[in-house]
Amino acid sequence: MTGAFVGGLLAVLCALLVLLALLAARRPENGWAAWLREAVDAWRSDELRREHLKVRRSEVRDTPVEDIFSLGAPEDVPAYARPEELVARLGEVRGRARNLTRR
């Protein structure tokens, strides 16, 4: 039982040493206290308020699956699944999902 405690303590100490080494290697120019103060001030600023971070629906563009497949390999290259098959399967899945939500 004592061996398990000693082994666990050694593992925690090793992890702590690795963490301290990483923190020492990535120390900011002004120090950790200044970095933390700037980070907290940034989170309290107006530009990060919830209403400014909302994604507006008009800014999001829905891309048809066919457009995504057109960016792939040329048609003369054999494929494991043809775009038409995947589009048809996607339509089936969407139809089943609509039926499940209606119940």
Predicted confidence at residue 6, as pLDDT, reads 95
Environment class of residue 12 by beta-carbon count within 10 Å: exposed (0-12), middle (13-18) or buried (19+)? Answer: exposed
Neighbours of 32 (CB within 10 A): 10
Q: Where are the domains of the chain?
A: 2-53, 63-102
For the segment 63-82, what is each residue's pLDDT rounded down to a tens digit?
Answer: 777 677 666 666 666 656 66
pTM, 2 dp: 0.38
- At residue 16, does pLDDT exceed 60? yes
pLDDT tens for 21-37 read 999 999 989 899 999 99
**pLDDT of 50:** 63
Cβ contacts of residue 74 below 8 Å, gap of 6+? none
> Bigger pLDDT: 84 or 33?
33
